[in-house]
Structure formats: structure tokens, C-alpha cells
Amino acid sequence: MRAAPVILVLLISVLAPLLASSNPDGLESTAEKLGASGMETVLHPAPLADYTFPGIQGDLSAVFAMLTGTGAVLILGFLAAEVLRSGRSGD
């Protein structure tokens, strides 16, 4: 795996939660305008809910949560792609 793109992605993961606007997003704003915000439910205990890492406070919590998520996507993506590609040689 080439290092430069991975480093760039990790850098975005660290910076994004620090730079991101905390305004509601387009769908949340629409829901607020149209009185639907209260309908939102959470069905399962997500370990990193609201992009916070349990037991850590402040900005660092968001950074750790993001790095965990980015790492999870990176590993799952690599494994999935390898499994799918390896299926090809057996065709």
C-alpha cells in the first residue's frame, strides 16, 4: 500500500473533526424546519456515537473516534477487495 495517500487520509481524519462546522447538516436542517427532528431514534448502542471516543474528553475524543473509523474502513476495504479479487483466479 502506497504510503502518501494513506498519510493524507489520516491527516484529513485528524483535521476534519477540528475544522468541521457544527451547524446541522442539510437533512437535519430540513427536519428542523418541517418539525420532524423529534422522530429520530437510535436503535443500537453505537460504540462511537456522535463521533466521540468513550472515556476521552474534548477535541481529542473526536480525533480518536475518526482515526478508529478511518482505520476500520481501511482494513475492511482492503480485506473485502482482496477477497473479491482472489475469487477471480478460481473462476
Partner 1 sequence: MHIPDGFLPLSHALVYMAVAAFFVSRALRWARSGLEEAPMLATLAAGIFAIQALNIPVPWGTSGHMTGGVLASILLGSPWAGVLILSLVLVVQALLFADGGITALGANILNMGVISSFAGYYTYLALRRRAGTAVASFAGAWLGMMLAALATAVELGIAGTFPLKEGIIFMGLYHAVIGVVAEGTMTALVVSTVLRLMPGSAASPAGRDAA
The one-letter amino acid at 26: G
Q: Tell me the C-alpha distance between 16 and 69, whole Å.
A: 13
Q: How far is the CB of 45 from partner 1 (least distance, A)?
A: 8
Q: Is 56 in the site for partner 1 (CB under 8 A)?
A: no
Q: What SS3 class is residue 13?
A: helix
Q: Is 61 in the site for partner 1 (CB under 8 A)?
A: no
Rounded Cα distance, 25 and 77, in Å: 27
Q: Give how many residues touch partner 1 by CB under 8 A.
A: 61
Q: How far is the CB of 2 from partner 1 (least distance, A)?
A: 7
Q: Is residue 60 within the footprint of partner 1 (CB under 8 A)?
A: no
